[in-house]
Amino acid sequence: MSGNIVLQVEDLHTSFFTRAGEVKAVDGVSFFVREAETFGIVGESGCGKSVTGLSILRLLPEPSGQIVGGKIIMEGKNLLELSKSHMRAYRGKMISMILQDPMSSLNPVYTVGDQIGESVRLHQDLPENMVEPEVISALRLLRIPAPEVRLKEYPFQLSGGMRQRVVGAIAMSCRPHLLIADEPTTALDATIQAQYIALFEDIQEKTNVAIIFITHDFGVVARICDRVGVMYAGKIVETAPTRDIFKKPRHPYTKALIHSVPQLDRKDERLYSIEGQPPSMMNLPPGCRFYPRCDVSLDICKEQEPPEVKLNENHSISCWRVK
Partner 1 sequence: MINILPTINVKKKKQYRGITRATRIVRNLAFIIPAAIMALMVIMAIFADLSWMGLPNVGIAPHDPNAQVMTNRYLPPSFMEGGKSEYLLGTDKFGRDILSRVIFGARVSLSVSLIAIFITAFVGTALGILAGYVGGRFEGLIMRIVDMALSFPFLLLAMLLAVAIGPGFWTVVFALSALGWAGYARMIRGEAMRINQSDFVAQARVIGATPWRIMSRHIFPNIVNTLIVIMTLQVGMMILAESALSYLGIGITAPQASWGSMVADGRSYLDTAWWISTFPGICIGLVVLSGNFLGDWIRDKLDPRLRQL
Residue closer to partner 1, measured from CB, 9 or 167: 167
Beta-carbon contacts of 266 under 8 Å, excluding residues fewer than 6 positions away, are: none
> Can you tell me the distance from the alpha carbon of 163 to that of 176, in angstroms, rounded to the nearest whole number?
20
Binding of partner 1 by 104 (CB under 8 A): yes
> Can you tell me the distance from the alpha carbon of 272 to that of 131, in angstroms, rounded to the nearest whole number?
53
CB of 88 to partner 1, least distance (A): 5
CB of 131 to partner 1, least distance (A): 14
C-alpha distances (whole Å) from 100 to each of 86, 239, 261 are: 25, 23, 22
Decide: helix, strand or coil at residue 264: coil
Residue closer to partner 1, measured from CB, 117 or 249: 117
* The only residue of 36, 59, 82, 258 in contact with partner 1, by rule CB under 8 A: 59
Binding of partner 1 by 110 (CB under 8 A): yes
Please identify, among the stretches 56-64, 136-144, 237-245, 307-315, the one whose residues bind partner 1 according to the rule CB under 8 A.
56-64
To which H or E segment does residue 66 belong?
A: strand 65-74
Residues that contact partner 1, how many (by CB under 8 A): 30
* The only residue of 4, 64, 78, 107 in contact with partner 1, by rule CB under 8 A: 107
What is the DSSP code string of 223-260?
A: HH-SEEEEEETTEEEEEEEHHHHHHS--SHHHHHHHHT
CB of 124 to partner 1, least distance (A): 12
CB 109 within 8 A of CB 131: no
For residues 178-217, which are near partner 1 according to CB under 8 A? none
Binding of partner 1 by 63 (CB under 8 A): yes
Residue 241, preceding peptide bond in cis (omega within 30° of 0): no
* The only residue of 71, 88, 143, 255 in contact with partner 1, by rule CB under 8 A: 88
Residues in contact with partner 1 by CB under 8 A are 57, 59, 63, 85, 88-93, 96-97, 99, 101-102, 104-110, 118-119, 122-123, 156, 167, 170-171
